[in-house]
Chains A and B, each alone.
Chain A
Amino acid sequence: MAEASTREIYGKTLVELGRQNKDIIVLDADVSPSTMTNFFAREFPERFFNCGLQEQNMIGIAAGLAASGKTVFASTFAVFVVCRCFDQLRLCISQPNLNVKIVATHGGISVGEDGTSHQAIEDLALCCALPGFTVVVPADAIETAVAVRAAADTYGPFYIRLSRPKTPIIYPEGYHFTLGKAVTMKQGKDVTIMATGIMVAKALEAADILARQNIDCRVINIHTLKPLDEAAIVKAASETGAVVVAEEHLAQGGLGSRVAQILAKEKPVPMEFVNLGDRYAMSGKAEELLQRYGLTPTDIEELVKSAVKRK
């Protein structure tokens, strides 16, 4: 499968947005060569601010700019902008409902060799806990470009999580994206795999494997974790009678928790969860880590079988 970098497409999309809208301001915290906001910095140096190693300060500055009418993109690695800055995200951006787009790279354990300190595995729980935030995890580079555009065009706080490594391209150019609307990637009647981010491609792989074993999986990409497409989730659960949720995140508070909360109320069905559980990972190559911590198509396959068995 062809691969592309979500952070590179982010950098390029920012430049295009910057050309169209002079009120777009970009902030970074000393990692612009990694988040690729350096493309924007090169073209619009007067609208780019490198805040240095000052993530918390950057969020406060972003809030001030947004309160003064700017559309602000603030980027660094996911751990540093979410875990380090949670209070600032809460009181400077969420509560006053300011127009700040947090686009964080290096989400999940696929960060790889840098290890625990650099692997954001709790960011989705934290950001989904912020009232008013829209939380998006694009499944590939194509979806990243449209999600970033949608964020620029939609008032309010956003958290968009991107990856460090290149990821498989699963969408065609010209793919139509709607914030908050889940995408059915593959129809199926026996079970639904609901996935987000890099796990969507793995869910599609798992569905192929399972098809050969006569298990017909529906695959849904839930790119927007908040607001959640409740109707699509309830419909898929009703029609297929079992759900497996896959995410590159801790067990608590991410997509799995959010889907379970809705289905518990609206349509309880057997569910299984593919995630990191309740533990930190370690250094290693991205693929090795995904294998070690149970985030492969095979892991999805096994849990799909167990969900179907419980129907």
Chain B
Amino acid sequence: MVSHFELKCTTQPMPKRAFVRNASPSNKFNLSTAELKETAKMLRRHVITMIATAGSGHPGGSLSAADIITALYFRILRHDPENPQWSERDRFVLSKGHAAPILYAALAEAGYFPVAELATLRRLDSRLQGHTDRNLTPGVEMSAGSLGIGLSFAIGVALAARLDSKTYRTYALLSDGECEEGQTWEAALAAAQFNLDNLTAMVDCNGMQLSGWTRDIMNLEPLIRKWQAFGWHVIDIDGHDFDQILAAFLKADKMKGKPTVITARTIKGKGVSFMENNVVFHGKAPTREEAEKALKELG
């Protein structure tokens, strides 16, 4: 068991912009691409520090999703960290619940709770549970951890927006492993059936799952054609390229009549050389030495 230890994580203050509710673009941070890159790096450092301190957790799938989540929270989502229950907020549903650390890092830096609280990940009585918990964490929309469930929930949220004539968008982040679960494809059928153009799904296609490469375990390709056949508008991007990520979100916004899925090609463990494409770091905490090495690499 890794004992609790101090790993100092440098945090620069987030640039703050004037925030106009209901205006567009209404992301309070509205960071530039260069700023997003720096922020993603900082969130990755948090992920390493948090998981190393906790002594358990899933670094690989947090790091692969870091750029998408950074883009969402600091440029795309209409949200108000001071008012997590704001009725007009865009909803972000983390379906791959084991990537909770990257979401917590984003929420903390956005101001939903103190950054210092990140050090409590996975500890008894912490608001930051091993997998997301809707009851405990400000800004967390749904409990997760059992894979393949989140897209259905997002459909319900998106349907409610339509019923209540609200303009918020619903976003759901899935893993490629989750595309093996039957429920994901039930949800895919339903979202298309209900013409949910206010729903954007993202698949973090890092090509790996717990026990190896997805293509060797349960091949999903051709994934684009599958989602298209299920009635979705598909945008295939490099999930570590902010220009592509931002362009995809804007394109999804404009699509009328069908839901959009962004298949984001990513690298598991992205940003830390010895974690990249290394299945060992799917669900293993770095040791102290490994964490220090990782933090150095992440500048």
Give A contacts to B, CB under 8 Å. 28, 30-34, 38, 50-54, 56-57, 79-80, 83-84, 112-118, 282-285, 288-289, 292
B129–A282 touching, CB < 8 Å: yes
A53 B180 Cβ-Cβ under 8 A: yes
Residues of B at the A interface (CB closer than 8 Å) are: 1, 54-57, 97, 122-126, 129-131, 133, 143-148, 177-178, 180-182, 209-211, 214, 217-218
Interface centre among B124, B133, B210 (most CB of A within 10 A): B124
- Which among B130, B131, B144 has the greatest number of chain A C-beta atoms within 10 A? B130
Within 8 Å by CB of A53, from B1, B56, B218, lies B218
Contact yes or no, B146 A80, CB < 8 A: yes
Nearest CB in chain A: distance from B42 CB, A: 24
**A52-B180 contact given A33-B210, A113-B122, A284-B123, CB 8 Å threshold:** yes
| Bound CA span A28–B218, Å | 12
- Let me know if A292 and B178 touch, CB within 8 A: no
Question: What residues on A are CB-neighbors of B181 within 8 Å?
Answer: 53-54
- Decide if A288 touches B124 in the complex (CB within 8 Å): yes
CB atoms of A116 and B218 under 8 A apart: no
Q: A115, B131: Cβ atoms under 8 Å?
A: yes
Most A C-beta atoms less than 10 A away, residue of B54, B56, B57, B122: B122
B204 to chain A: closest CB distance in Å? 14
A–B Cβ pairs within 8 angstroms, 26 of them: A30-B180, A30-B209, A30-B210, A30-B211, A30-B217, A34-B210, A38-B211, A51-B218, A52-B214, A53-B148, A53-B181, A54-B180, A54-B181, A54-B218, A79-B146, A80-B146, A112-B56, A113-B56, A113-B130, A115-B131, A116-B129, A117-B97, A117-B145, A118-B130, A285-B124, A289-B124
Nearest-Cβ distance from residue A62 to partner chain B, whole angstroms: 16
Residue in B closest to A34 when the chains form the complex, CB atoms = B210
Pairwise interchain contact B209-A283, C-beta atoms closer than 8 A: no
CA distance A80 to B131 in the complex (A): 15
| B211-A50 in contact (CB<8A) | yes
Q: Are B210 and A114 in contact (CB under 8 A)?
A: no
Main SS class of interface, B: loop
Give 9 nearest A-B pairs by CB, closest first.
A117-B145, A52-B218, A284-B124, A115-B130, A53-B180, A113-B122, A52-B180, A283-B130, A114-B130
Residue pairs across A and B with CB atoms within 8 Å: the count is 93
Q: B264 CB to closest chain A CB, in angstroms?
A: 18
On chain B, the residues within 8 Å of A117 by CB distance are 97, 130-131, 143-146
CA separation between A11 and B244, bound complex, in Å? Answer: 45
Is A52 within 8 A of B146, CB to CB?
no
Q: Report chain B residues within 8 Å CB of A38.
A: 211
Interfacial chain B residues near A32, Cβ < 8 Å: 211
* B55, B144, B177: the one within 8 Å of A30 (CB): B177
C-alpha spacing A117/B148, complex, angstroms:
13
A86 to chain B, nearest CB (A): 13
Residue of B nearest to A28 (CB): B211
Among residues of A, the one whose C-beta sits closest to the C-beta of B279 is A33
A80 to B146, CA, bound (A): 7
A282 touches B182 (CB 8 A): no
Q: A50-B211, A284-B123 are in contact. List 8 more A-B contacts (CB 8 A).
A: A53-B147, A53-B177, A114-B131, A117-B144, A117-B146, A282-B133, A283-B122, A288-B124
For B144, what are the chain A residues with a Cβ–Cβ distance below 8 Å?
117
Flag if B147 contacts A118 (CB, 8 Å).
no
Asked whether A53 lies within 8 Å of B130 as measured between CB atoms, the reply is no
Q: Is the CB of B218 within 8 A of A33?
A: no
A50 to B218, CA, bound (A): 8
Residues on the B chain within 8 Å of A292, using CB: 124
CA distance A117 to B146 in the complex (A): 6
Closest to A32 in B: B211
Q: Cβ of B130: which chain A residues have Cβ within 8 Å of it?
A: 113-115, 117-118, 283
Inter-chain contacts of A80 with B (CB < 8 A): 146
Bound Cα distance A119, B97 (Å): 14
Residues of chain B contacted by A83 (CB below 8 angstroms): 146
Q: Tell me how far the C-beta of B53 lies from the nearest C-beta in chain A, rounded to whole angstroms.
A: 12
B177 with A52: CB separation less than 8 A: yes
In the bound assembly, the distance between CA atoms of A32 and B283 in angstroms comes to 13
How far is it, in angstroms, between the C-alpha of A50 and the C-alpha of B97 when the chains are bound? 22
**Which residue of chain B has the shortest Cβ distance to A52 in the bound complex?**
B218
Q: A32-B211, A53-B209, A288-B124 are in contact. Are A116 and B180 (CB under 8 A)?
A: no
| Cβ distance B242 to chain A, nearest Cβ, rounded Å | 29
Cα–Cα distance between A283 and B123 once the two chains are bound (Å) = 6
What's the least CB distance linking A284 to chain B, in Å? 4
Q: Name the one of A28, A31, A50, A115 contacting B133, with C-beta atoms under 8 angstroms.
A: A115
Distance A38 CA – B210 CA, assembled complex (angstroms): 12
Nearest-Cβ distance from residue A26 to partner chain B, whole angstroms:
13
Contact A116-B123, Cβ < 8 Å, known A52-B180, A54-B182: no
Kindly report which residue of chain A lies nearest to residue B282, judged by CB atoms.
A33
Contact A283 B124 (CB under 8 A): yes
A-side contacts of B55, CB under 8 Å: 113
Cα distance, A34 to B280, chains bound together (Å): 12
A32 to B279, CA, bound (A): 13
Shortest Cβ distance from residue A72 to the other chain B in the assembled complex, whole angstroms = 19
| Shortest distance between the CB of B103 and any CB in chain A (Å) | 14
- Shortest CB distance B286–A (Å): 15
Evaluate whether A282 and B124 lie within 8 angstroms (CB atoms) in the complex, with A51-B218, A53-B178 already known.
Answer: yes
